[in-house]
Structure 1
Amino acid sequence: MPWTLPSRPSRRSLLAGAAGVAGAALLTGCSDDRPAGGESGIPLERRMREAAVRDSARLLERYDATAADHPALAARLAPLRAAVAAHSAALALPPAGSRSPSASPTGGTGAAAPSAGGEPVPPKPAEALTALADAERSLSEARTIDLAGAPGELARMLASVAACGAVHAYLLTSTPGATS
């Protein structure tokens, strides 16, 4: 009996393909700091870190706005906001051995710039938590995509911060104290 192709790929072939893609993404993360395409002369890692810090600052603004509009949520949001602030500080640090005298661990003045065109906080607390979870999820997905082109250490950090963002999204939409 002649061999025929299966009508759909097997789970094993899908997993093997996914592993190959993930491996390729990790290998591209081990590149040097030369700017891609001759862009601006600023090293790739520095540009990526600055963008990540800006994204974290916008997320911190969303946490602050949500806590201000819904004070009853402030205690629930505080540990998640603190983690986002810690991620921002960690992303702002230059890699070990290349600390420049002008680099600041807070990525600048230490105060986030006002949000230009930031989305309004929904009026209901549950909707506000969902909107914040959506922002965490979107940033987590963007960082997951970005890590494929990031230099080694930054790729690992972005992966870790993206995973944390996914957990934050889950925690923001789960019922506190509920058991599964």
Structure 2
Amino acid sequence: MPWTLPSRPSRRSLLAGAAGAAGAALLTGCSETGPTAVDAGIPLERRMREAAVRDSARLLERYDATAAAHPALAARLAPLRAAVAAHAAALALTPSDAPSPSGSATPSGGTGAAAAPAPSAEPVPPKPADALTALADAERSLSQARTIDLAGAPGELARVLASVAACGAVHTYLLTSTPGATP
């Protein structure tokens, strides 16, 4: 006689499944010792803003290093660098820091732009064209990361990230185009 499946699970299989689920839950709960456990007390928006400001500060370092290594590019890079600095300032502001009718604004009390960013690990390429390409790659990468971050960002921060990501895409285009060339 062929074996057939029982119409309902046995008590033994239910107990085994429950024990397995309980064990998995215990193991998962014990592994919360990384950064997420430490950051749990810090609001999501603040963590996202501080990370975005750090990323902008690193990008500013790349602009500065590129301009220092290739002084002939400094004038071309200056307006783009100024925009990145403005992005860092905008990202550092929390909604409560927004300009009041009197026009005064103060940066947030977090680590913000005052935090020392990690030094850029990548050296500036020796050829100016390669240096511009490397800078464009950094802009593109950051723009894409900010676009991905939009999904989890609260309302106002999402709008700022979207604007900054779009500007980064424009910077990528400007860094890879030939100035003065006609299309």
Report if TM-score (shorter chain) is over 0.5: yes
| Residue 114 of structure 1: how far off its partner (Å) | 5.2
2:55 is equivalent to residue 55 of structure 1? yes
Normalised by the length of structure 2, the TM-score is: 0.70
| RMSD over equivalenced CA pairs, Å | 2.6
| Deviation, structure 1 residue 174 | 0.1
Structure 1 gap segments, 5+ residues each: 1-35
Give the distance between the partners of 2:107 and 2:81, measured in 1 at CA: 27
CA distance in 2: counterparts of 1:102 and 1:84, whole angstroms: 16
Deviation sequence 1:38-71 (CA, Å, 0-9, x none): 9421000000000000000000000000000000
Q: Report the Cα distance in structure 2 between the residues aligned to 1:83 and 1:105, rounded to whole angstroms.
A: 22
1:81 is aligned to: 81
Count of residues paired in the alignment: 142
Alignment partner of 1:107 is 2:112 = yes
Distance of 1:137 and 1:102 partners within structure 2: 27
Corresponding residue of 2:45: 45
Q: SS in structure 1 opposite 2:112?
A: coil
Change (3 A) 1:166 1:130: same
Q: Which structure: larger Rg? A: 2
Residue equivalent to 2:92: 92
Structure in which a larger fraction of residues adopt helix: 2
Distance 2:128 2:90 in 1: 30
Alpha-carbon spacing, 1:104–1:84, altered in 2? closer, same or farther (3 Å): farther
Note the 1:7-22 alignment, pairs <5 A.
none
Structure 2 residue runs of 5 or longer lacking an equivalent are 1-35, 100-105
What fraction of aligned residue pairs are identical, expressed as a percent?
Answer: 80
